[in-house]
Amino acid sequence: MPATPLLQDISACVFDAYGTLFDVGSVARGAQEELGDRWQALSDLWRGKQLQYTWLRGLSGQHADFWQVTGEALSFAMASLGLADPGLHQRLMDLYLRISAYSEVPATLAGLQAKGVRLAILSNGTPAMLAAAVANAGLGSRFEALLSVEEVGVFKPHPRVYHLASQRLNLPMGQLCFLSANGWDAWSAKACGMKVLWCNRTGQMPERLPAAPDGELRDLSGLPGAIGY
């Protein structure tokens, strides 16, 4: 634990889901038998297009829920790799509902909850997607709220999404610690007034954007010490 926490006076931790709590690579990896050595390429294409579609739909005002966007992004990725198999598409979508949590997540959440820290998820995912992921990982008792962008009808990084956490938890933005492995998400949350720790799992370069996060973690195991718990 650091001698001086990166953040103080934190009442709740709010987590991004995909890439932060849950390993998006585990989905395609779970279909390695069918995909062979193409699983990583598919995973990267799928994730990249999934995010692009959320941003484009947000900018154009053509919202669709994250389940639809995820399926459309998968269709693009499969077509790009010459994979024309509806059964494989369905299997991968089913696996998305059973996405794996990162190894340090259960113990980190349990420790924070035991010390009275309020916990929530704030995600592009639909309520059904989030409920399935949390249940599959055995984390159902850890979170006070599973907050979906469907409550505000627009994807991240729209400011309404980040302010939803403050409204639903009835806490000021400055008492919320937001955790995301996605740099664009972390920077956007900070710009909206949250305290932010960037969970930089893959060693990304810092974004060239205003409102940089308050600190950086390699994974979530360092979170309790970073907020003084």
Exactly one of 16, 23, 65, 185 is catalytic; name it. Answer: 16
Whether 94 is a known active-site residue: answer no
User: Which residues are CB-neighbours of 114 under 8 A, at least 6 positions away?
Assistant: none
Backbone angles phi and psi of 104, in degrees to 5: -85, -10
DSSP 3-state assignment of 148? strand
Rounded-to-10 torsion of CA 187, 192, 193, 194: -60
**Of the candidates 91, 92, 95, 53, the residue with the CA atom closest to the CA atom of residue 72:** 53
Q: Is 84 helix (H, G, I), strand (E, B) or coil?
A: coil
Contact status, residue 171 vs residue 149, Cβ threshold 8 Å: no
Compute the distance between CA of residue 22 and CA of residue 134 in angstroms, rounded to an integer. 9
* Euclidean distance between CA atoms 141 and 2, whole angstroms: 28
54-77: burial string, b at 16+ Cβ within 10 Å, e else: beebbeeeebebbbebbbebbebb
* Start-to-end CA span in the chain (Å): 9
Helix (H, G, I), strand (E, B) or coil at 147: strand
Active site residues: 16
